[in-house]
Structure 1
Amino acid sequence: MNNIACFKVVIICSACWVLLVILLTLFTDNSVKTVFSVGLYNSSVSTAFEKKAMSVNSTLPDRTDVLLVAYMRTGSTFLGKVLGWRDDVFFWFEPLRKDRNWQYLRGNDLLCQDLKPACEITASNQQKIALRFLLDIFDCNLQPYDSMPTDINFKTELLPPSWFEYAKCKKSLNKSLTCNTALTNSCKKTKHRIAKVLRIDLEGTASLLERNPRLKIVQLLRDPRAIMNSHLRTGWYGMNLKSHQQIEADSIVLCSRLRNDILAGKSLMKLYPDRVRLLQYEDFKNLDEKVQKLYKFLNMELISQQNNILQSLKEDNSLHAKMSSTNVKYERHDGFHPFLFREQMDWVIAETVHKHCGDVLRELGLRQFKTEEEYRDLTQNVVIDKLPFELM
């Protein structure tokens, strides 16, 4: 009897142990949250979820939402026109600009300064509100934002077609609620919804891929020296860069953002190769060819209107080329001009950018000049071999 009793005890204990292990496993799986920290992408998003997300996206080829992530003076207006000036697109110009003109959201809980390397922990609801806003744009749920429709400039040359009715309404009625109805209707008529954001980093937007299976994200990168040159030569930005200390602080922030977004982008592209793409501004030299490849990645058809859009950008490029020989500062030109910084920006400032962005330049496949003579020698290419994030 004692042996039988002992055997029963062993069986019961073993069963309890197995049950405990199962319960712990289930509890652990349900309690682990997806953490979109740059260093944890691969371990925090399951392969099963990745396959599910890609499968859902592949069944919706005619309906793509796009988030264009960039920084000020990276060529985002140029790329925004390529994507957003089509009749089949609803395009929202910088929806996160309000109340953070010189700030950006970083990661999951930081609010950082654009002009100096300083961040503070912010209430998590700021990030949640920003992401909810973006999701609502993609769903055309715009009525909750009747008091904050946009900071878009209503100059004709800056107004995408999807905003014409709204702009007309605002000028005639000046009633936000009525006009937001027009905006919502305009959004619902389009095949693609696109938002351009400059005030949140790539890591901070990553959770949107899980929440919107139609979404694709493109991050626009650019040579940090060209960005700095544009900062200095753009009146409203350059007025904040009067001293060497201010220029260096701006370089530190810029290089830090580029560095983090490249790292986040490379991780996300491994997880979502058909939904996330790093782009390099310098890659759009052959504009027609590259735009076609970008449209293909975004499931956007080639339309007759495309030729007019690209022609207008080429004309902007010609205008800028004529102005570049002068020392006149400019407010905005949207043409393609990737390497003018070598003619326009002081070598001392280029050295400052080199100091903080050496690793970034290597990641972007761009040459770091050792002397001013090399820097001014235009026979030496800026691109060392080929651009690592070239559209293929």
Structure 2
Amino acid sequence: MTFPRQLSGIDPELIDLEASVYNNIQDCDLDHLPADVDIMKDDLIGRNAKIRISVFTNCMKQIVANPKALTDTCRQLAMTSCKSKSVVLMKVVRGTMDAVSLYLSRLKSTAHVKIIHLMRDPRGSINSRLRTGWTGFKELDLDNQVKMIHSICERMYRDVTLRRKLEEKYPNVFLQIKYEDLTNDPIKMFQQIYDFIGEAQFPESLKKKLLVSKTHSRRIAALWKITMSKTIVDVVVNNCESILNHLKHDTFSSNK
């Protein structure tokens, strides 16, 4: 989907599009994804080694003379692989609870659906936007940065409010995880996630990877404290009080 995501106001067509993607991927219906967000046509999947759809990416690498036909073949391989798995996992960045609500309403049953709402200290989120060129956030003047910060936190709190209502309607479907807790004690938090989704086995290989990356992840989580200006930190604190309180974060300033 296009960036930046609409932060204020709700476009019903965009919400419907987002929900449709969730429904399609859950059903492994990868050849009927909405055209605007057909991830199977995005070369990011082939270029990014961290996106592990190996049966699809390996097939796509062999494209030479007849790209369209081979792409269709590769897509069918991906669908077959998807349908053979006991767990279908979607990682959604900049999703909305509005679309999650619509997605859930379309299901006959939510018995096998689990949704993990990963939340981050907004100071860390804003700092990430400041440090990532393609967001365009750094180039905005202060007034427009303030407006965007306000909109981002308003969006975050709206998602929390909607999720609380959905939790009442769909018990045992949602789990909130704080990014900072995940980086501080990844083994504990991943065990909680595995318990939540009903997967008893926590692979030793994953535990080793988590321990190796723990120090780096903790540094990233706390990076805003040493790189973000006091001016921007104060703007975030003043505009994001509700979400900071919800996440139980201290509201001290940066060290910069």
Q: State the TM-score, normalizing by the size of structure 2.
A: 0.83
Q: 2:200 aligns with which of 301, 304, 319?
A: 301
Q: Give, in angstroms, the shift of residue 146 of structure 1.
A: 9.7
**Selected match of 2:16 from 112, 122, 128:** 128
Q: Where is the helix percentage greater, Structure 1 or Structure 2? A: 2
Residue 354, structure 1, aligned to residue 237, structure 2: yes
Aligned to 2:224: 341
% same residue? 22
Q: Following the alignment from structure 1 to structure 2, what is the Cα–Cα distance between the partners of residues 143 and 341?
A: 41
Structure 2 distance, partners of 1:145, 1:198, is 17
Aligned partners of 1:202 and 1:219 also within 8 Å: no
Alpha-carbon distance between aligned partners in 2 of 1:223 and 1:240, rounded to the nearest angstrom: 18
For residues 253-303 of structure 1, give each alpha carbon's deviation from its aligned partner in whole angstroms, at most 9, with x where no partner exists. 211111111111222223333111222111211111110111110112324
- CA offsets, 1:336-362, max 9 Å, x none? 432221111111110110121112211
Q: How does 1:166-205 map to 2 (within 5 A)?
A: 166-173=56-63, 174=67, 175-205=70-100
8 Å contact kept, 2:187–2:210: no
8 Å Cα contact 2:113-2:173 kept in structure 1: yes
Shift of 1:190: 0.7
Q: How does 1:195-274 map to 2 (within 5 A)?
A: 195-210=90-105, 211=107, 212-213=109-110, 214-237=112-135, 239-242=136-139, 243-274=141-172
Deviation at 1:310, TM superposition (A): 4.1
Residue 187 of structure 2 is aligned to residue 288 of structure 1: yes
The one-letter code sitting in structure 1 at the alignment partner of 2:90 is: A
Aligned residue pairs total 241
Deviations 1:225-272 (A, max 9, x none): 1111111122323x4322212321221121111111111122222333
Assess if the C-alpha contact under 8 Å between 1:292 and 1:302 holds in 2. no
Separation (CA, whole Å) in 2 of partners of 1:340 and 1:172: 41
Gaps of 5+ in 1: 1-96, 104-111, 321-334, 378-392
Q: Which residue of 2 aligns with 1:376?
A: 255
| Distance in structure 1 (CA, Å) of the matches to 2:134 and 2:207 | 27
Deviation string 1:98-145 (CA, Å, 9 cap, x unpaired) is xx2322xxxxxxxx25xxxx54x64x4443343223112111122224
Code of the residue aligned with 1:294 in structure 2: it is I
On the 8 A contact 2:118/2:179 being kept in 1, the answer is yes
1:159 alignment counterpart? 51
Please give the root-mean-square deviation of Cα atoms over the aligned residues, in Å: 2.5
Residue 23 of structure 2: SS of its match in structure 1? helix
1:354-390 deviation line (CA, Å, top 9, x unaligned): 1211122111111112xx5xx439xxxxxxxxxxxxx
Structure 2 unaligned runs (5+)? Answer: none
Partner Cα separation in structure 2 for residue 270 and residue 146 of structure 1: 30
Amino acid at match of 1:169: C
Instruction: Please state how far the C-alpha of 1:209 moved relative to its aligned partner.
Output: 2.7
Q: Cα distance 1:314–1:247, how it changes in 2: closer, same or farther (>3 A)?
A: farther
Specify the structure having the higher radius of gyration (Cα): 1
> Which has the larger share of strand?
1
TM value normalised by structure 1:
0.56
